[in-house]
Amino acid sequence: MIFDVVLSGLVVGGMYGLIALGLNLQYGIARMMNLAYGEALMGGAYTAFWLFMLWKIDPLLSMLVSVPVAFCGNWLIYRYLLTPLVRRAANQDILEADTILVTFGLLFVFQGLALVQWGGEYRGYTYLAVPVDVLGAPVALNRLLAMGAALVLGLALYWVLRATRVGGALRAIAIDPVAAQLVAIDVPRLSALAFATGGAIMAVAGTLVSMFLSFNASIGIVYTLKALIVVIMGGVGRMLGCLMAGLILGFAEALGAWLVDPGLTLAINFALFLLILLVRPQGLFSRG
C-alpha cells in the first residue's frame, strides 16, 4: 500500500518537476510571469486527444505538432505582447503588474477558445493501459512512460543548462541580466528562446498528462498554479531544486490523498505553500 503511494507520488511528482522546470525557464531566465503558462499544457493534451481519437495517431507522435506550435506561440507572445511592456514600464513593479494582467487575459482567451471549440466536459483516452509489474505492484504502462519521459527530459534540460555554452549563457542571465549583457550575451534573443522552450516543455507535459489523467478546457490554471508553487519551493532560477521540489509536492499529494482524502489535494498544495512561507520566506522568496 505504502509502495503504491510512493510510486504514484513519483509519477505525479516527476510531472510537477517537469512543468516547474519550464516555468523556471520563463520566470527565472526570461523574467516574465506567464499566467497563461498552463494553457500550453491544455493545448498539448487536446492535440494528443484529438489526433488519437480521430486518426488513431500515437500520442507521442502528436508532440510533433503540439511542441513546435507551443514553441512558436510562446515566442510570439514573448516577442510581441510582453517585450513592448518592458519598454513601456517605468519600474519593475509596474512591469510585473502589467504582465500578470496581460497573461491573465491570454489565459481567459485560450481557455475560452477551447471551451467554445470543445466544450467544458472532462476528456480522456485509453493508451497503453497495460499493467506492468514493478516490484510486485501493478502499474499502468502509460504512467511509467510519462514518468520516464518527464525525468529524462528534465535531466536532459539540466544537462544542457549545466554543460553547454548556451546553457551557461542562460544561467548567467538568470543570475544577472545586465551583467550578462556586458559579457556579450545576447540577452533579448536568449530570453525569448528560454521563454519559448518553457512553453514547448509544457506541451510535452500536456501530452504526457493526457495519457493517464482526464482533463478539460479549464485545466491550465491548475497546472500553472502547481508549477508556481514548485518553483517557489525549489527556488526561482534553480533547476535541480525544482525537480526535487516537484517530487516533494507529488509525494505530499499522494500521501495526503491516501491518509486524509483525495478531495483535499489542492488544500495540501496550499498548506505546503504556506508552510514554506512561514519556515523559509527569505531564502526561497528572494528575487534573484
Partner 1 sequence: MADRLAARWWIVPVTAAGIAFLAALPLMVSAYTVSLLISMLAYTSLATSWAFFSGTTRYISLATAAFVGIGTYTVALLSDHLPLAVVLAIAPVVGFVIALGVGLSTLRLSGVYFVIFTFGLAELIKQLVIWYEINQTKTLARYIFVNASGTLIYELLLATAVVVISGVWWFSRARLGYALRVIGEDEMVARHSGIDTTRVKVLVFAATSAVMSLVGAVLSLRYTYVDPNIGFNSLVSFQVLIMALLGGIGRPWGPALGAIPLVLLFELLSGTFPHYFSIALGICFVVIVYFLPGGVMGLIDRGRKWLLPALRPGRGP
Contact segment (CB under 8 A) with partner 1 among 41-49, 55-63, 134-142, 260-268 equals 260-268
Q: Does 29 bind partner 1 (CB under 8 A)?
A: no
Q: Does 267 bind partner 1 (CB under 8 A)?
A: yes
Cβ atoms 50, 119 nearer than 8 A:
no
Task: Calculate the CA 140 to chain-centre distance.
Answer: 23
The count of other CB atoms within 10 Å of the CB of residue 127 is 18
Q: How far apart are CA 82 and CA 88, in angstroms?
A: 10
Q: Does 186 bind partner 1 (CB under 8 A)?
A: no
Q: How far is the CB of 142 from partner 1 (least distance, A)?
A: 27
Residue 31 — left, alpha, or beta (φ > 0 → left; ψ -120 to 50 → alpha)?
left
Q: How far is the CB of 101 from partner 1 (least distance, A)?
A: 5
Q: Does 122 bind partner 1 (CB under 8 A)?
A: no
Q: Does 270 bind partner 1 (CB under 8 A)?
A: yes
Q: How far is the CB of 31 from partner 1 (least distance, A)?
A: 11
Contact segment (CB under 8 A) with partner 1 among 12-20, 62-70, 178-186, 269-277 equals 269-277
Q: What are phi and psi of 122, to 5 degrees?
A: -75, 140
Q: How far is the CB of 97 from partner 1 (least distance, A)?
A: 6
Contact segment (CB under 8 A) with partner 1 among 41-49, 106-114, 126-134, 238-246 equals 106-114
With CA atoms as reference, report the closest residue to 172 among 27, 29, 10.
29
- The residues in 137-176 that bind partner 1, with binding defined as CB under 8 A, are none
Q: How far is the CB of 3 from partner 1 (least distance, A)?
A: 27
> Cell numbers at residue 186, please?
545576447
193-223 residues labelled b (16+ CB within 10 A) or e (exposed): bbbbbbbbbbbbbbbbbbbbbebbbbbbbeb
Name residue 140's beta-bridge partners.
131
Q: Which residues bind partner 1 (CB under 8 A)?
A: 33, 81, 84-85, 93, 96-98, 100-102, 104-113, 115-116, 225, 228-229, 232, 261, 263-264, 266-267, 269-270, 273-274, 277-278, 281, 285
